[in-house]
Structure 1
Amino acid sequence: KLFPMMLALVLVTGCKGSSDDSAQAAPVSTPQQVAVAVVQPDPPPPAPPAVLPSRPAPIVTVGPPGPTNSLDLPPSSNAAQPAPFPREVTAFMVDRDSCDHFRGEEPYDAERRAYIEESVAELCSGTDAKLALLRKRYEKMPDVIGALSSYDARIEGEEP
């Protein structure tokens, strides 16, 4: 980058003789016009884009629903099998256990009472009829009847 600038200066100013005598002896000529190219310096690289700080991910406070093959199911003679009870029985037991959990909760203030009542209404509705249906459907399977025997037949309409 320095060389083109020096060359441009030399061409513009020209060369002068070393003595005045030689300048007088030489015939006088008109100076030649020289085209000068101006070299622009490279533009600075663009500034990197501003990176906005990322916001932290929200904290999830609600857990996933319980497993359909819960490990805390009552024992059965088919315990070695991955699903010791029929799928609908297992699903009922998990749902009913969630219902019973909220039925046993203490409402320590009005907000908690409303939350418990809402949860009981959502989780416990229809469980009496479902329990009666399952007991009828699987009456010839003693393991299923034994597992279902721990559930109260009528809980709907009771106060939690």
Structure 2
Amino acid sequence: MSAAGPSAAEPAEDSPAPPPLPKVTPAEVALEEPLPPLKTQPNAFLPPPVTTTLPQDLPPGEGAADPTPFPPAVTAFMIDRDGCDHFRGEEAYDADRAAFLEENLRQLCTGTDARLAALRGRYAGNPDVIAALAHYEDRIEGGAE
């Protein structure tokens, strides 16, 4: 700044402020015309929103299966054994994974051989239960895993 007065970078105190620059995007500068606001333009790249309506609970129709087809002990066994079979097929690719799998196998698989045999004996007269248990291996514990 010189002693004679303000420099070009400093406006004089009595001069009016310059008008604000318009806010434009690089695309608008290149087009030399403003773009319409995005909110008014439909986005052709997005599919329409998906609306899902869930069916109302309906009463079972004729011939509908019983919603609880198996005794609770059978259902509990099937849940445990299905979880057991899932983890039996998993790979232990590191020490943490091996520990995780071992814990789940211990919790879900231990005792299922005996439970399966007991359920097959207890429900031998129930063909639906026997059919549901038919696909389970008789012995998976004790090194047969």
Match of 1:31 in 2: none
Paired with 2:123 and 2:102, the residues of 1 have a C-alpha distance of 31
In the alignment, which of 73, 80, 83 is matched to residue 98 of structure 1? 83
- Tell me, in whole angstroms, the C-alpha distance in 2 between the residues paired with 1:126 and 1:117: 15
Q: What does the per-residue CA deviation read over 1:44-100, in whole Å, with 9 as the maximum and x for residues that have no partner?
A: xxxxxxxxxxxxxxxxxxxxxxxxxxxxxxxxxx86211011111011101110111
Aligned to 1:137: 122
Distance apart, 1:111 and its partner CA:
1.1
Pairs aligned (count): 83
After TM superposition, the score normalised by the length of structure 1 is: 0.49
Partner of 1:117: 102
How many Å apart are 1:159 and its aligned residue? Answer: 6.2
Partner in structure 2 of residue 155 of structure 1: 140
* Distance in 2 between residues matched to 1:158 and 1:105, nearest whole Å: 16
CA shift, 1:139, in A, is 0.4
Rounded Cα–Cα distance in structure 1 between residues aligned with 2:128 and 2:73: 14
Question: RMSD across aligned C-alpha pairs, in angstroms?
Answer: 1.6
Partners of 2:92 and 2:64 in 1: how far apart? 37
TM-score (norm 2): 0.54
Matched, 1:146 2:125: no
Larger Rg: 1
Identical positions, percent: 63
Cα shift at 1:158: 2.6
Unaligned runs of 5+ in 1: 1-77
Q: Distance in 2 between matches of 1:80 and 1:149?
A: 20
Letter in 2 for 1:146: A
